[in-house]
């Protein structure tokens, strides 16, 4: 890849690697986030979705949350 619009996240590094969004950044779907992060909806108002670290244990809202 060589330009930002080639990447789902819109962020292409100088070496041509697609970089996902960082923890805390707004997102629409899981593939937008960096490895180890998922696009998880907040459980409180305003219920925004942000790239969030995946859990290794505890309660998950869906399979991707853990």
- Check residue 24 and give its pLDDT: 93
- Check residue 63 and give its pLDDT: 60
- Rounded Cα distance, 27 and 3, in Å: 20
- The average pLDDT across 11-37 equals 86
Tell me the whole-structure pTM to 2 decimals: 0.65
- The average pLDDT across 7-30 equals 85
- The average pLDDT across 31-45 equals 85
Q: Could you tell me which residue, 3 or 23, shows the higher pLDDT?
A: 23
- The average pLDDT across 18-25 equals 89
- Rounded Cα distance, 46 and 7, in Å: 28
Task: Enter the tokens of residue 9.
Answer: 């996240």
């Amino acid at each position: 890849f060589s330009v930002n619009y080639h990447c789902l996240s819109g962020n292409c590094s100088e070496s041509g690697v697609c970089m996902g969004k960082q923890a805390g950044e707004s997102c629409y779907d899981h593939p937008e986030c960096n490895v180890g992060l998922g696009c998880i909806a907040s459980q409180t108002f305003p219920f925004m979705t942000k790239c969030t670290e995946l859990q290794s244990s505890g309660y998950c809202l869906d399979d991707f949350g853990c």
